[in-house]
Amino acid sequence: MGLFETLRKMFAAPDVEPAPPARSAPAPAAPQRPAFDYSDARIPTGAREKIAGILASLDEVEAMMDREQVQAVSRTEIELMRGEHLPKLVKSYIDIPPAHRAEIFRTTGKSASFILEESLEAMQGRIDEIARNLAQHDLDAFASNAAFISRRYSDNDPFR
């Protein structure tokens, strides 16, 4: 028995087992906001269809991001679109009193519903761009792997 073991036993409390190492408790999950009701009848039909497309595209992009190492900036942008930008845009449209929507037309020359749909199209365009960039990474990886296999297993391989 070594010196340190002897000293530990001399100064240890009798019949007391050492406490197990402290585990850090998992961080509490961020509070979830209730899902926004995009089926609200005050949202124009065309906008509801665009919103459904955006939500489906966001799901696809998130699945692609889960497979890849993605920059935090892109992931954050997608999360903000789903959790903040889209619901805020739609809510701000809903909150305009119908009697005052004509003021938007007088100011911009466009109806509020037209501007809403135009904004949704811009959002969809950005999601499509992110999806294309992720898909390009997949395409490049596939092309690289196919080229390797072709070189490795072709009949002209000098190392076979």
pLDDT tens digits, 111-160: 999 999 999 999 999 999 999 988 887 788 889 999 898 888 887 655 55
Cα–Cα distance measured from residue 158 to residue 152, given in angstroms and rounded to the nearest whole number: 9
Question: Which DSSP helix (H) or strand (E) runs through 137?
Answer: helix 112-153
Q: What percent of the chain has pLDDT over 90?
A: 45
Residue 51's contacts (CB-CB under 8 Å, 6 or more residues apart) are 38, 43, 86, 90, 120
Cα–Cα distance measured from residue 18 to residue 11, given in angstroms and rounded to the nearest whole number: 13
Supply the pLDDT for residue 53.
Answer: 97
DSSP-derived 3-state class of residue 71 = coil
pTM of the model: 0.67
What is the token pair recorded at 99? 């009697």
Q: What percent of the chain has pLDDT over 70?
A: 72
Residue 134's contacts (CB-CB under 8 Å, 6 or more residues apart) are 61, 64, 65, 68, 70
Confidence label for 31 from pLDDT (cuts 50, 70 and 90): very low
